[in-house]
Amino acid sequence: GLKGKNRSFIEKNLVNNLKDCLSRNKIDFGYIRRQRGRIFIDSNRESTSLLKNVFGISSLSYAEEVGLDMKSIQAVVSRLVSHSEFENFRISVQRLNKEFSLSSMELEKELGAFVVEKFGKKVKLEQPELNIQIEIADKAYIFNERIQGFGGLPIGTQGKVVCWINNSKSLLAAILMMRRGCKVVLAGRMLKVNGFGKYNYGSILEFYPAGSFKEVEEIASRLKIKAIVVDHTLKDYAKLDSQMLVLRPLIAFSEKDIELQREKYFG
């Protein structure tokens, strides 16, 4: 895990990138705050489909925020249950606020008994049809859906690279460097980059035309960037005579791997 100053630096960077995502897409939001390894955002449900594309997010959920009293928590749980079709369920509690009067297990048991008594449903701890999740922090955050993000590191935490762009495979190489926290500069042939911008939060997309690797190298030198990214795999590996660091994020990928990654990022 991340610790100390490194964790704080990465989380602050991620918060800035989340703000950039919401602002660019003209999504209204109130607060964005960090608390105990979580980031809480006051926004609407529409924002989740955009925020999941911000690198550094492993998962996110649209939650209802209520006070820490049992009556308020039960009201939201009751609403989620009544709006769902299921036969079995579980309650999963994570208590980030240790000052809360009940332990995680005690709250799970109490809310589970409440649902059984009110709705006549069965508890099932392994692979339930409905999993209501509750995080106890300064308030209670209650949700029943977890949306997977792309993980990785927030853009801007690992420096800047120039990506030699000459086909869709090289765009994938650029995306993978962004996922590793790099800001990328594109140099090469201008391609349709449909879907590329939806990941580039925290950085402004720069493009420089270039017809050869030598021209890409000159662009990197002029911009004082010390690394160039190419799309080589083992199948089409080519040695490049360069004084700069040449990065090959696709080097171990098979054609099938590349196709799966294209589908994952570009649809």
Question: How confident is the model over 228-267, as pLDDT tens digits?
Answer: 999 999 998 888 888 899 999 999 999 999 999 999 998 8
φ/ψ of 158, rounded to 5, equals: -130, 20
- In a shared domain, residues 211 and 227: yes
By CB atoms closer than 10 A (0-12, 13-18, 19+), residue 58 is: exposed
Specify the pLDDT at position 126: 95
When pLDDT is cut at 50, 70 and 90, the band that residue 152 belongs to is: very high
Residue 152 located in a structural domain: no
- Tell me: do 179 and 247 sit in the same domain: yes
Provide the CATH number for the domain around residue 243: 3.40.50.620
The reply to whether 58 and 82 lie within a common domain is no
Q: How many CA atoms lie within 13 A of 205 on its CB side?
A: 13
The answer to whether 195 and 218 are in contact (CB under 8 A) is no
In sequence order, what are the residues at sequence separation of 6 or more whose Cβ sits closer than 8 angstroms to the Cβ of residue 16? Answer: 156, 202
Amino acid identity at 145: E
Range of the domain at 29: 4-62
Same domain, yes or no: 179 and 260: yes
User: In whole angstroms, how far apart are CA 80 and each of 18, 84, 104, 178?
Assistant: 27, 6, 19, 37
Q: How many CA atoms lie within 13 A of 154 on its CB side?
A: 22
The total number of structural domains in the chain stands at: 3
Q: What angle do CA 219, 202, 30 make, to 5 degrees?
A: 165
Distances (CA, A) of 53 to 151, 164, 179, 200, 248: 9, 23, 10, 9, 23
pLDDT in tens, 181-235: 999 999 998 777 667 889 999 999 899 999 999 999 999 999 999 999 999 999 9
pTM of the entire predicted model? 0.90
Q: Which of 189, 57, 161 is nearest to 175 (CA)?
A: 161
What are 70-118's pLDDT values in tens digits? 999 999 999 999 999 999 999 999 998 889 999 999 999 999 999 999 9
**For residue 4, pLDDT beyond 90:** no
| Residue 64: pLDDT over 70 | yes
Domain presence at residue 76 = yes
Residue 197 has a pLDDT of 86
Whether residue 21 contacts residue 51, with contact meaning beta carbons closer than 8 Å, is answered with: yes
d(CA 236, CA 234): 6
